[in-house]
Amino acid sequence: MILIIVGGIILILLLLIIIKAVTSKEDVQLEEPQEKIIHMSGIYSIVRKSPRADLVKLRPSEEKIRQYLAGQNEDIYNIALCDSERSALLKHWKEQMDVNLREVEIGDKTGVAFYYYDFPQACAACAPFLSKGHFVSREEIYNFPQLVPPFHLGCTCILAAYSGKVDQNPNDTVISGMRPFFTNVNVPALPEWTSTVTLPKAAEVSR
Ligand SMILES: [Zn+2]
């Protein structure tokens, strides 16, 4: 008799464990499509995900940059680098990253679909790769956060929001020579982050 009762309890316990396992599996299955919806909305501009976290993963850490600069005695123009310039380059890199990410984050709130590259100061290291007026869509930034400047140490390139509809009316441009940065599905080549341009030199080039 006792054996039957004990056996019964074990059976009930087993059943409860199986039910629990099946239920939690269903929970997991329910969560997946929700994640995908958030992901898709990022692409379709309903609720956009900031590229900040993804970009930080792609870019060198502050420590890595510091170490790199410590080993560099001159920039790409063979201009000697001193400690204050190294510090200024790191500070500029972090500030520009934040400025450009904020431009995208603010644009997400107002529904900006396109951004174009601008150069308040000419950037010789960027010149072979991209120029003022090259534009990228928010979806392209979403897919490839590395499109957010700065691209290298001392980079003066900025991302500017464009309120017109580039794809629908190519003549509606704020600047002449506005054209898509992507010519195919691959991300166009970008400067190496190590292409160091000292900040006074970056200012000088624009004159
Ligand atoms: Zn640059």
Provide the pLDDT for residue 68.
97
pTM: 0.72
Q: Domain limits of the chain?
A: 1-47, 55-206
- Does residue 4 carry a pLDDT above 50? yes
Six-digit token string for 194: 């190590």
The CA 30 to ligand 1 mean position distance, Å, reads 45
83 burial via Cβ count (<10 Å: 0-12, 13-18, 19+)? exposed
The CA 150 to ligand 1 mean position distance, Å, reads 6
- Is residue 111 a contact partner of residue 122, using CB atoms and an 8 Å limit? no
Is residue 3 very low, low, confident or very high in pLDDT (cuts 50, 70, 90)? low
Quote the CA–CA distance of 10 and 17 in Å, as a whole number. Answer: 11
The CA 67 to ligand 1 mean position distance, Å, reads 21
The CA 154 to ligand 1 mean position distance, Å, reads 7
- Is residue 164 a contact partner of residue 127, using CB atoms and an 8 Å limit? no
206 φ, ψ (degrees, to nearest 5): -75, -15
- Is residue 161 a contact partner of residue 125, using CB atoms and an 8 Å limit? no
Per-residue pLDDT tens digits for 82-114: 999 999 999 999 999 999 999 999 999 888 889
Is residue 169 very low, low, confident or very high in pLDDT (cuts 50, 70, 90)? low
Per-residue pLDDT tens digits for 15-67: 666 666 555 554 444 444 444 444 444 444 455 789 999 999 999 999 999 99
